[in-house]
Amino acid sequence: MIVEFWGHEFKINIFFGVLGGFVIAIVSSMFGFGGGPFMTPLMAVGLGLPMYLVVGSSLLAIFFNTLMGTMRHYQFGNFDLTFFLIMFPAAIIGGFIAPQIAKRISPIMVKRVAVLGLLILALNLLGLY
Amino acid sequence: MKRIWVSLVIALSATMFMMWQNGAFAEKTKDAAPAQAATAADQRTVAPDAGASPTILIDKTSLSNGGTITVTGAAPAGKPVYIEVWSDDKVRVSRFDAEVDKETGKRPYILYMTDEMPAYYKIFMPKDRKETLDGIKKEGNNWSVSKALKDLGADIAYSAPTKARIDRYQATLMGSIIGSRGDLLPQMDEKESKKRSMQLIKARFRAPDKVLSADVEVNPDGTFKAALKIREGLAPGKYSIVAVVDKGVKSQPLTFDNKIEFPNMYLNNAGTSLNLIWPFLLTLAISIFGVLMGAGGGFILNPLLVSIWPLPHTVVAGTVMPTVLFSQASGIYNYSKIKFINWKLGITIGMGMVVGGFIGPKLTELITLDQYKFVFGWILIILAGLMFWQTTPGYLDKNKKEQSILKEFRRRAEETIKAKGK
């Protein structure tokens, strides 16, 4: 498939992209997280698209997954309204505070801290410490 | 600035709704409960004859988010006394049986599910059972409810969960792909249903000390006394207490009321009450960190939620997912305004993802909490690897170039919008 973006044309293997999206969507809706951090490398490295094309389009693709996953979880009775109403405002407010902080700190530093934090959490979940 | 006000209004109205739902504005119902205790007090407290039903008394009829309730009573002398306590409130539990059957050597792949599991269930037993109970606790995750009840002699007291109606579904590969639960199998007989309810007890309460405890002091003359600790974070509403000395030989049930008041909230689907301030702060902190590190907060939030609170992983996955719907939608809107979305690409891959999103939530039901945590651990390791790669010099170099192209496009896009505006 040929993707056209701001006057540039990119040729991609769409079969690979759809299959990858399918697998990521299963895992992400099964465990209840957004698939963004996995979709971006899939499209940037797997399909060879530039970052500025990937950010918006991957968000659109993930939105389909989130919408469907939400409906299915609701259908299976896994949605708790009270709990949602506790977390939803917090997530929205967090989304407004974060950019204010982001201006003041280095994104690479944050990522390194995140790597460490994720590893600790992962080892804890695997029961290794 | 306007958007901050909008978000504040959303937050406030959500809080008001929760308080209303929790009955914070409702008129408090008058306590009519002491009358029941009084009638119970009229009954004799002398030990009844052997074979007779035990009698019980409780010192209070109302608790506020847990507490200690003292049960006294009399049973035939020399008999062990078990006290069964359960809540009226029911929750849904499911368990997927994919273990190899010892008799047939096949994997059954059957999903057991009930909507009628008591949100709280516990059997308090004589103090001399403590050693056996400690042995069961040492078995760790491999403990079995039916074996534990048998070893402790507590199977005679096990009755409230057997009344739950359990449905079972035969899962098939095809069924899983199209996202159905499978075919509903015929109802089980009483014995089979009891056995399966014990497995569901384990699926719901996880650890032995949540359902079993050795607190009842039985005197040689048959009188007994127990201080039942009802923990925090349970369902509100009516709880029933029954003393059991033998199969079918039990006291009249007494009831008490557990009150949950704001800011503690009861989560209907999770069957847990919690102080809502903590999850709110946790979500706030993690969503901020999530935005900063460039990955959704769900990666950190979900494993923490299932680790800190006794929340089922199905409810956590099903409730965290919708919280990002709004931010994703507004992100798409903002990108589309400056024409930064390739609709053809996004929708084509989105078609693959919509099918994946259809299957995934079904699979959440089929795994246990431990499997959920284990797989999540590996997902986080992969994510950590990806994030580490994003901090390597090669990646940063490439990113810098692309960022400058991005800025250039964005500038042009904004200019076109401005030009159109004029």
CA distance B418 to chain A (A): 18
Closest of A24, A38, A127 to residue B385, by C-alpha: A38
For an interface test with A, the pick among B17, B321, B341, B379 (most A C-beta atoms closer than 10 Å) comes out as B321
What is the structure's pLDDT at A67? 95
A9 and A31 part of one domain: yes
Return the structure tokens found at B300.
Answer: 């950190």
What is the structure's pLDDT at B268? 84
Q: What is the mean pLDDT of residues B357-371?
A: 90
- Indicate whether B32 pLDDT > 50: no
Q: Which of B11, B350, B351 sits opposite A92 (nearest CB)?
A: B11
**Residue B249 touches chain A, beta carbons under 8 Å:** no
Kindly determine whether residue A107 and residue B409, on different chains, have CB atoms separated by under 8 Å.
no
Which chain A residues are closer than 8 Å to B319 by Cβ?
A: 32, 73, 78-80, 83-84, 87
pLDDT band with cut points at 50, 70 and 90 for residue B44? very low
What is the structure's pLDDT at B29? 43
pLDDT in tens, B147-158: 999 999 999 999
Return the structure tokens found at B332.
Answer: 């798409």
For an interface test with B, the pick among A60, A81, A126 (most B C-beta atoms closer than 10 Å) comes out as A60
Q: Which carries the bigger pLDDT value, residue B189 or residue B181?
A: B189
A69 and A85 part of one domain: no
Query: 3-state class of A51 per DSSP?
Result: helix
A29 and A7 part of one domain: yes
- Indicate whether B104 pLDDT > 90: no
A24 and A46 part of one domain: yes
Out of A24-38, B107-121, B163-177, B239-253, which region has the weakest mean confidence (pLDDT)? B163-177
What is the structure's pLDDT at B73? 92
Determine which helix (DSSP H) or strand (DSSP E) holds B417, and give its type and residue range: helix B393-421
**Which structural domain range is residue A64 located in?**
1-79
pLDDT in tens, A14-57: 899 999 999 999 999 999 988 888 998 899 888 888 877 888 88
Provide the residue type at B344 as one letter: K
Q: What is the mean pLDDT of residues B201-211?
A: 91
Put simply, the chain B residues between 169 and 188 with a CB less than 8 A from any chain A CB are 179
Name the range with the highest mean pLDDT among A48-52, B115-119, B266-270, B362-366: B115-119
- Indicate whether B175 pLDDT > 50: yes
Q: Which carries the bigger pLDDT value, residue A128 or residue B278?
A: B278
Kindly determine whether residue A115 and residue B384, on different chains, have CB atoms separated by under 8 Å.
yes
Q: What is the mean pLDDT of residues B33-60?
A: 61
A43 and A88 part of one domain: no
A68 and A117 part of one domain: no
CA distance B129 to chain A (A): 30
What is the structure's pLDDT at B346? 92
H runs (alpha helix) in A3-106: 14-31, 36-41, 51-75, 81-102
Instruction: Quote the CATH superfamily of domain B34-259.
Output: Macroglobulin (MG2) domain (2.60.40.1930)
Residues A119, A123, A128: CA angle, nearest 5 degrees: 155
Closest of B229, B208, B216, B226 to residue B135, by C-alpha: B208
What is the structure's pLDDT at B416? 78
pLDDT band with cut points at 50, 70 and 90 for residue B34? very low
Q: Which carries the bigger pLDDT value, residue B420 or residue B141?
A: B141
CA distance B389 to chain A (A): 10
User: Quick one: how many helices (H) and strands (E) in chain B?
Assistant: 14, 16
What is the structure's pLDDT at B45? 47
pLDDT band with cut points at 50, 70 and 90 for residue B7? low
A29 and A70 part of one domain: yes
A51 and A99 part of one domain: no
pLDDT band with cut points at 50, 70 and 90 for residue B194? very high
A63 and A99 part of one domain: no
**Residue B300 touches chain A, beta carbons under 8 Å:** yes
Q: Is the ipTM of this complex over 0.90?
A: yes
Kindly determine whether residue B352 and residue A69, on different chains, have CB atoms separated by under 8 Å.
no
Query: Where are the CATH 2.60.40.1930 domain residues in chain B?
Result: 34-259
Per the CB < 8 A criterion, the answer to whether A95 and B287 are in contact is: yes
What is the structure's pLDDT at A27? 95
Q: Residue B249 has what DSSP assignment? A: E
A118 and A68 part of one domain: no
Share the mean pLDDT of chain B: 84
Which chain B residues are closer than 8 Å to A98 by Cβ?
A: 287-288, 290-292
Chain B residue with Cα closest to A54: B341
What is the structure's pLDDT at B39? 44
Q: What is the interface size between A and B, counted as CB pairs within 8 Å?
A: 405
What is the structure's pLDDT at B10? 63
Which chain B residues are closer than 8 Å to A36 by Cβ?
A: 294-296
B352-377 per-residue burial string, b: 16 or more CB within 10 A, e: under 16: bbbbbbbbbbbbbbbbebeebbebbb
Which chain B residues are closer than 8 Å to A9 by Cβ?
A: none
CA distance A108 to B292: 10
Which chain A residues are closer than 8 Å to B326 by Cβ?
A: 88, 92
Burial label for B248, CB within 10 Å (0-12, 13-18, 19+), is: exposed
Chain B residue with Cα closest to A41: B386
- Indicate whether B350 pLDDT > 90: yes
Out of A94-103, B44-53, B409-418, which region has the weakest mean confidence (pLDDT)? B44-53
What is the structure's pLDDT at B269? 84
pLDDT band with cut points at 50, 70 and 90 for residue B4? low
Q: Which of A25, A28, A101 sits opposite B352 (nearest CB)?
A: A25
Q: What is the mean pLDDT of residues B124-133?
A: 92
Kindly determine whether residue B321 and residue A70, on different chains, have CB atoms separated by under 8 Å.
yes
For an interface test with B, the pick among A16, A28, A30 (most B C-beta atoms closer than 10 Å) comes out as A30
pLDDT band with cut points at 50, 70 and 90 for residue B37? very low
Q: Residue B271 has what DSSP assignment? A: T
Residue B65: partners with Cβ closer than 8 Å, 6 or more residues away: B232, B233, B234, B258, B259, B260, B261, B264, B273
pLDDT band with cut points at 50, 70 and 90 for residue B351? very high
**Residue B314 touches chain A, beta carbons under 8 Å:** yes
Which chain A residues are closer than 8 Å to B3 by Cβ?
A: 96
- Indicate whether B31 pLDDT > 70: no
Kindly determine whether residue B350 and residue A21, on different chains, have CB atoms separated by under 8 Å.
yes
CA distance B188 to B194: 9
A75 and A15 part of one domain: yes
What is the structure's pLDDT at B258? 92
CA distance B359 to B354: 9
Q: How many domains does chain A have?
A: 2
What is the structure's pLDDT at B336? 87
What is the structure's pLDDT at B49? 58
What is the structure's pLDDT at B33? 42
Q: Which of B302, B351, B381 sits opposite A33 (nearest CB)?
A: B302
Q: Which carries the bigger pLDDT value, residue B316 or residue B294?
A: B316
A99 and A109 part of one domain: yes
Return the structure tokens found at A39.
Answer: 């979709």
**Residue B320 touches chain A, beta carbons under 8 Å:** yes
H runs (alpha helix) in B255-392: 277-293, 298-308, 313-323, 325-337, 343-366, 369-389
What is the structure's pLDDT at B41? 44
Q: What is the mean pLDDT of residues B359-368?
A: 89
What is the structure's pLDDT at B255? 93
Task: Kindly state the greatest CA–CA separation across chain B.
Answer: 97
Closest of A57, A97, A68, A67 to residue B297, by C-alpha: A97
